[in-house]
Chains A and B, each alone.
Chain A
Amino acid sequence: KQEVTQIPAALSVPEGENLVLNCSFTDSAIYNLQWFRQDPGKGLTSLLLIQSSQREQTSGRLNASLDKSSGRSTLYIAASQPGDSATYLCAGMDNYGQNFVFGPGTRLSVLP
C-alpha cells in the first residue's frame, strides 16, 4: 500500500525566510504529483501540478520538484509571507491514472 510522508509536520518561520517542504512516497511509481494548501475550515486549493513528463513546476514564489526515481518531492517557498500560513499537502497519482494518495500535511506558520 502506498504511503506518503511529509516532513516536517509543522514549521514556524519569520517572515521573509525561504523554506522547503518535503514529501516522500513508499512506492516511487507515481504518475504525477500535486501540491495543495488548506486554510483552516476550508477546502484544498491546488498550488502546482507536476505532470508525468515534467520534473518541476513554478508559480510565482513557489517551486515544486519531483524525483521519480526516489519518489520524493519538494515544495520551495521563497520570501515567505504571513499569508502563506496554512497546511500544505502533497498528493501523488498512482500509475493506473485513477486515484491520488495524500500526505498528512505540513502546518506552516509565518510570523510577521
Chain B
Amino acid sequence: NAGVTQTPKFRVLKTGQSMTLLCAQDMNHEYMYWYRQDPGMGLRLIHYSVGEGTTAKGEVPDGYNVSRLKKQNFLLGLESAAPSQTSVYFCASRFNTGELFFGEGSRLTVL
C-alpha cells in the first residue's frame, strides 16, 4: 500500500516548456487535489476532482490544466511554464468527508 505517489519528485524546466506531474493513489479515494506550497503563501489549491472524469478549479488555477481519466490518477499539466510556477507541488486524496492524505511533493524550478 503505497498511499499517494507523485512523479517526478524534482524537475527543472525552461520558460515556455511543458510538463505533466502525475499523482497516483491506491486507496480508492474519490477526492483528489493539487496544491502548491510557496514560502509565506502557505498551501494553495490549484485544481481538484470529486471523482473519475470530473475536475474543478481551485484558488490558483491559471496556467495549469488537470485530468482525471482514471480514478486512481490525477494529472497536473503546465502547458507553458513560467518562473512564477516555481514551487513545491503536493497531491492529496481522501474519501468523502474523510482524512486527507498527501504525497511527498514535487519540486519544480522554472528558469
Contacts and interface: CB of A to CB of B under 8 A. Distances in A.
Task: Describe A's contact surface by its main secondary structure.
Answer: strand
Contact of A93 (B58, B97, B103): B97
A51 B43 CA distance: 21
Interface residues of B, number: 22
B46 to A, nearest CB: 11
Q: Is the interface of B mostly helix, strand, loop or mixed?
A: strand
A98 B42 contact: no
Interface in B72-111: 90, 92, 96-105
B102 A49 contact: no
A88 interface: no
> For this complex, into which size category does the number of interface residues on chain A fall?
20 to 34
Nearest to A98: B50
A77 interface: no
A52 B90 contact: no
A102 B43 contact: yes
Given A89-B43, A99-B58, A104-B42, A34 B48 contact: no
